[in-house]
Chain A
């Protein structure tokens, strides 16, 4: 793709009109892979929105008492009841991994192979920690508390179904992200983006823009957690 110097084009609202009136590429200066990732993330936003909106609908329309997440997800540490402790730690772990990913994208653009690779690796480890804690949370709720999709000892029966659906779908996204982070950490550290080595799956050359696209996905996973944390755990 020939690169467009977007600094010479109109900016802001005029740029919006200019880009949409153009007879060629609308998203000027945006690599196609990045545009496609954004479109995918937009569709994913709609899926997660549907989950959270149905959570709202179920919770607002049930006459049974909705379980209080603060107590359901509380942990007893050294004899003290701490509300939402595990969830809070998971939130901080995910934000930390989002920060390392943002730095990895920055170093990718500076063609700093080692910093970029190791920061992606750190992001992957953070993601893995998150999934591990989620597995702990799930097994505690399933085996210790006896929460099932059709019922639970705390209150409204829909609670379990929404818990497994919402956090499960998000956890799947994190797991897929972790797999790709490990793959791209290896590709980066091996120098694929410097030597123009062709990818195993696509047989195409790639460059550090791939890291930004991977970063978009990872930040989105963090973004979704912000909403799940607010609407499922805190509300």
Chain B
């Protein structure tokens, strides 16, 4: 057990403090999107951009994925494409549902 934990890498405290600070800054930025009441495409793209940056920093540094071997990184990240496909399917589905609801509920068929 002794030599096991000696071999595992530790990183300098500065790395964590930097990422911590960046997460604060990006959270503040995404709150600013609401504070300044941006609307439409600008709002959505900014929200998604800050969200992805924060998620990437947490996964890469805090969850140590950056230092893991490709075997586990690939096993964890490829399934996300299935989620994206599902999102695409449901966007099409909800547009159709909205169309039929508008047609029958609002316009009365």
Contacts and interface: CB of A to CB of B under 8 A. Distances in A.
Interface of A: 3, 5-6, 9, 11-13, 15-16, 19-20, 26-30, 35, 38, 42, 45-46, 49, 53-54, 56-58, 60-63, 70, 83-84, 88, 91-92, 95-96, 98-99, 101-103, 106, 109-111, 196, 205, 207-209, 212, 215-216, 219-220, 222-223, 226-227, 229-230, 233-235
B23 to A, nearest CB: 5
Interface of B: 1, 3-5, 7-11, 13, 16-17, 19-20, 23-24, 27, 30-31, 33-35, 37, 43-44, 47-48, 50-51, 54-55, 58-59, 61-64, 68-72, 74-76, 79-80, 83, 86-87, 90-91, 93-95, 97-98, 101-102, 105-106
A230 B47 contact: yes
A109 B8 contact: yes
Contacts of A38: 72, 75-76
Contact of A35 (B50, B72, B80, B86): B72
Contacts of A219: 58-59, 62-63
Nearest to A84: B34
A109 B10 contact: yes
Given A60-B94, A235-B44, A98 B87 contact: no
A9 B71 CA distance: 12
Contact of A106 (B16, B55, B68): B16
Given A98-B62, A216-B63, A219-B62, A56 B71 contact: no
A223 B27 CA distance: 12
The 6 closest A-B pairs by CB, nearest first: A61-B97, A99-B20, A16-B70, A60-B94, A19-B71, A230-B51
A92 B27 contact: yes
Contact of B106 (A53, A63, A98, A103): A63
B21 to A, nearest CB: 9
B4 A99 contact: no
B23 A30 contact: no
Nearest to B50: A230
B97 A53 contact: no
A225 to B, nearest CB: 10
A111 B5 CA distance: 8
Given A3-B7, A16-B74, A219-B62, A29 B69 contact: yes
A234 B87 contact: no
Contact of A234 (B47, B63, B70): B47
A98 B57 CA distance: 12
A84 B48 CA distance: 18
Contacts of A61: 93-95, 97-98, 101
Given A27-B69, A28-B71, A61-B94, A53 B55 contact: no
A68 to B, nearest CB: 10
A222 B58 contact: yes
Contacts of A16: 69-71, 74
Given A5-B7, A56-B91, A99 B16 contact: yes
Contacts of A49: 83, 86
